[in-house]
Amino acid sequence: MADFTGVDLRGSRFERVDLTGAEFRTVDLSQTRFRGADLRGVVMRGVELVDVQINGEIQNFVVNGVDVAPLVDAELDRRDPDRAKMRPTDPAGFREAWEIVERLWGGTVDRARGLDPELLHRSVDGEWSFIETLRHLVFATESWIGRAILGNPSPWHPLSLPWDEMPDTPGVPRDRAARPSLDEVLELRRDRMSTVRQVIGSLTDESLDGRTEPIDGPGWPPPVSFPVRQCVLVVLNEEWLHRQFAERDLDALTAG
């Protein structure tokens, strides 16, 4: 067990490091960035949380004795009523949710077309560029619809882009240097979105409550059985969140 008592680690980079059970006492974490971090079960006492931004999955998040997660969810639903529709419970609800996704993304893409094409390859604050975001959504669709539900063991296009923290996996592309045009990525995206539309259009109460067959071979998701409902909800969640991220970054690019 390493002991860093009294050590100056300012500016250090920790990547793929296991800090499970670590103890931080009288430490300065100001300006620290956490990305793709697993913070389940973390306990913070005597901390100062000022000017902090948290974006991610929030459940059972207790602040000074108050579970704030339901409050955050309620406020986000109030701000955008379509958000609540991303948690459908029946086939009709899933079809409505996908129609909303397609409509909203149509507006976002139209907005992106008004920018200099080079800006669509530009990262804002270390996040994916607009083109990379679309490439990642292609990967998410291929993984949870093409592989998990439709049973294709290797559904990925060479331009598909997994999330950064995913370990390199044989057969799964990760070409961060690729710079395809917007139209090239949109053609691929339209094809994958059409597949999602067909799958959601064919959902029944019975199939929605069913489970997928495990897929042999390396890739994502792992070769286990998943509820069909979960697979489609993952895609809806990815589409919803990444469009918000894209709109946020388009705001920044537009503002220069």
What are the pLDDT digits (tens) for 159-171? 999 999 898 999 9
Residue 34 and residue 22: Cα distance in Å, rounded?
Answer: 15
Q: Which residues fall within 8 angstroms of residue 225, CB to CB, at 6 or more apart? A: 211, 212, 213, 214
Residue 138's H or E segment, with its range, is: helix 130-141
Predicted local distance difference test score (pLDDT) of residue 242:
97
The whole domain housing 173 covers 91-255
Residue 156 and residue 83: Cα distance in Å, rounded?
Answer: 28
User: Does residue 58 lie within any of the structural domains?
Assistant: no
User: Does residue 25 lie within any of the structural domains?
Assistant: no
User: Does residue 112 lie within any of the structural domains?
Assistant: yes
User: Does residue 178 lie within any of the structural domains?
Assistant: yes
Residue 151's H or E segment, with its range, is: none
Residue 202 and residue 55: Cα distance in Å, rounded?
Answer: 33
Residue 248 and residue 32: Cα distance in Å, rounded?
Answer: 21
User: Does residue 83 lie within any of the structural domains?
Assistant: no
- Split into its structural domains, the chain has a count of 1
Predicted local distance difference test score (pLDDT) of residue 69:
94
User: Does residue 71 lie within any of the structural domains?
Assistant: no
pTM, two decimal places: 0.88
Q: What is the mean pLDDT of residues 97-109?
A: 98
Q: What is the mean pLDDT of residues 69-88?
A: 96
User: Does residue 36 lie within any of the structural domains?
Assistant: no
Read off the tokens for 244. Answer: 């918000």
Q: Supply the mean pLDDT for the chain.
A: 95
Could you tell me the sign of the dihedral formed by the alpha carbons of 26, 53, 132, 11, in that order? negative
For residue 125, the domain's CATH number is 1.20.120.450
User: Does residue 51 lie within any of the structural domains?
Assistant: no
CB 221, CB 82: distance < 8 Å: no
Q: Convert the pLDDT of each residue in 196-230 to its tens digit.
A: 999 999 999 999 999 999 998 899 999 999 999 99
